[in-house]
């Protein structure tokens, strides 16, 4: 290995990678760099794992040995978990829609630590490997759901998948509300979005409860399985990846399943996914319509392509008023403004509680994922307050602060719960590989397990 690194002038810089095939032994040697110590070193391990996994998937070995060299013993849990999580995730290669493809041959992975003190702590290493494997599995499910084409994944199939996953875990309960049950609950905003779809709507609810929880937590996800924009039709390349507009629903489902698989104690966590399509049809909702949400607030539709917040607002009311959640986090691929402001890799975090926002950002750093705290500028809410009804879903033609005003709109459907909004419009989708990125599971599991 030392000869390989010297021969290929391997620097160990972040995102550096070298490999060589030893022909006489049919062995591939490789080295992945994580860079120097910094505040974002966990993210460097996360990225290195992702890069190494992608490379190894292309080399497709039968057996793999991962050797960790010079990992700080005091931080080994977080760093090895971040690397292994993304390494295992990146080995997954969705081949279901290929007529031919090379199956993964890998039968076994061994993890070796160069530090003798760390190496001898087998209980800790076993726990790290189990956590990483579980996070990877949940992240793969997250990504697979985001990847499924809209002619395959609709709200009905999403509900069946959630039910199947819940039934395979005795600690997880499941219920689902169809469009008729949602109408009984007066979810006029959510159902307006679904009006144009032949599949109707589904509000999916999973619960994981263990030990003696101190509070109820609800994770609420936007689940638009195809977003055409409705009558404010999307144009250009942007419409192609709108099958992934249910990334928030995929994230909250995957997170609750991961909590159950890891047997996280003393928590009660609910996943609520508002799932439907936003389509054009004779029954589809229109710009200018005024709808009534389940908390009684009236909303003018100024743009049918601002549909995610309409689905979410009724789900938020359900989380607080029906479930009785004390703490609510919603996750959504919500705004293009977030993409413009924070780019493709960083989620925006808004909250009505500074401590909550800081906890989420800290958990993102620990997990190796990227999130940034954002301001809730209340003065901006006036742009969504027309004179003839309570709210508008956007201010048509007003381009500024769109991610902030979307969060402010959602906050109008929270009464007293601690609440946070996670805009994952960038990191939910891997634009380079044109597939789901599996973002957010590690971050939310860390937050739920440690707060």
Q: What is the pLDDT of residue 61?
A: 78
Q: What is the pLDDT of residue 20?
A: 65
The C-alpha atoms of residue 53 and residue 17 are separated, in whole angstroms, by: 11
Q: What is the pLDDT of residue 421?
A: 99
Look at residue 117 and tell me whether its pLDDT is greater than 70.
no
Look at residue 18 and tell me whether its pLDDT is greater than 80.
no
Q: Are 253 and 165 in contact (CB under 8 A)?
A: yes
396 or 178: which leads in pLDDT: 178
45 or 290: which leads in pLDDT: 290
Query: Could you tell me what percent of the chain has a pLDDT over 70?
Result: 92
Q: What is the pLDDT of residue 123?
A: 87
Would you please indicate which residues are annotated as catalytic (active-site) residues?
A: 234, 309
Sketch out the chain's domains with CATH numbers: 1-134 (3.40.220.10), 148-450 (3.40.630.10)
Average model confidence (pLDDT) across the chain: 92
Look at residue 73 and tell me whether its pLDDT is greater than 80.
no
In which band, very low, low, confident or very high, does the pLDDT at 4 lie, cut at 50, 70 and 90? low
Q: Which of 6-20, 39-53, 338-352 has the highest mean pLDDT?
A: 338-352
In the chain, the N- to C-terminal Cα span, in Å, equals 41
List, as own/partner pairs, every contact residues 56-61 make where C-beta atoms lie below 8 angstroms and the sequence separation is at least 24, other chains included: 56/30, 56/87, 56/91, 56/106, 57/90, 57/91, 57/93, 57/104, 59/19, 59/28, 60/102, 60/104, 60/105, 60/106, 61/28, 61/105, 61/106
Q: What is the pLDDT of residue 197?
A: 98
Q: What is the pLDDT of residue 113?
A: 78
Burial class from Cβ neighbours inside 10 Å (0-12, 13-18, 19+) for residue 74 reads exposed
Q: What is the pLDDT of residue 15?
A: 73
DSSP string spanning 41-105?
HHHHHHHHHHHHHHHHHHH--SEEEEEE-S--GGGHHHHHHHHHHHHHHHH----TT-SS-PPP-
Distances (CA, A) of 128 to 47, 108, 175, 248, 437: 18, 17, 32, 26, 22
- Among the residue ranges 100-109, 173-182, 207-216, 319-328, the one predicted with the least confidence is 100-109
Spatial CA neighbour of 71 closest among 39, 91, 42:
42
Looking at residues 246-259, what average pLDDT do you find? Answer: 99
Q: Which of 81-90, 261-270, 394-403 has the highest mean pLDDT?
A: 261-270
The C-alpha atoms of residue 383 and residue 57 are separated, in whole angstroms, by: 49
Q: What is the pLDDT of residue 262?
A: 98
């Amino acid at each position: 290995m030392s000869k390989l690194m010297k021969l290929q002038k391997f620097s160990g810089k972040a995102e550096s990678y070298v490999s060589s095939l030893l022909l006489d032994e049919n062995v591939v040697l490789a080295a992945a760099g994580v860079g120097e110590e910094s505040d974002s070193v966990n993210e460097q391990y996360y990225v290195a794992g992702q890069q190494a996994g992608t490379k190894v998937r292309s080399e497709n070995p039968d057996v793999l040995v991962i050797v960790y060299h010079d990992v700080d013993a005091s931080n080994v849990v977080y760093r090895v978990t971040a690397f292994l999580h993304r390494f295992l995730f990146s080995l997954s290669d969705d081949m279901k829609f290929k007529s031919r493809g090379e199956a993964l041959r890998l039968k076994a992975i061994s993890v070796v630590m160069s530090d003798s003190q760390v190496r001898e702590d087998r209980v800790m290493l076993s726990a790290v490997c189990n956590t990483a494997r579980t996070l990877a599995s949940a992240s793969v499910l997250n990504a697979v759901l985001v990847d499924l084409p809209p002619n395959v994944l609709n709200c009905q199939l999403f509900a069946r998948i959630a039910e199947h996953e819940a039934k395979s875990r005795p600690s997880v309960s499941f219920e689902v509300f169809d469009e008729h049950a949602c109408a009984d609950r007066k979810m006029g905003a959510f159902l307006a979005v679904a009006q144009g779809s032949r599949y109707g709507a589904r509000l999916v609810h999973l619960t994981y409860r263990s030990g003696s929880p101190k509070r109820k937590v609800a994770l609420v996800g936007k689940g638009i399985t195809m977003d055409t924009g409705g009558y404010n039709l999307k144009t250009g390349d942007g419409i192609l990846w709108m099958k992934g507009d249910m990334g928030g629903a995929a994230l909250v489902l995957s997170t609750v399943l991961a909590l159950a698989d890891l047997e996280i104690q003393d928590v009660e966590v609910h996943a609520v996914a508002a799932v439907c399509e936003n389509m054009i049809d004779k029954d589809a909702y229109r710009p200018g319509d005024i709808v009534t949400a389940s908390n009684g607030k009236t909303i003018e539709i100024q743009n049918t392509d601002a549909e995610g917040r309409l689905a979410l607002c009724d789900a938020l009311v359900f989380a607080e008023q029906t479930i009785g959640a004390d703490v609510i986090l919603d996750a959504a691929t919500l705004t293009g403004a977030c993409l413009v402001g924070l780019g493709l890799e960083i989620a925006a975090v808004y909250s009505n509680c500074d401590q909550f926002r800081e906890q989420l950002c800290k958990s993102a750093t620990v997990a190796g994922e990227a999130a940034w705290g954002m301001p809730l500028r209340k003065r901006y809410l006036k742009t969504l307050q027309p004179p003839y009804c309570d709210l508008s879903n956007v201010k048509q033609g007003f381009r500024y602060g769109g991610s902030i005003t979307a969060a402010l709109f959602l906050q109008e459907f929270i009464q007293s719960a601690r609440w946070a909004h996670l805009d994952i419009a960038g990191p939910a989708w891997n634009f380079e590989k044109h597939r789901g990125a599996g973002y957010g599971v590690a971050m939310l599991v860390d937050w739920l397990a440690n707060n």
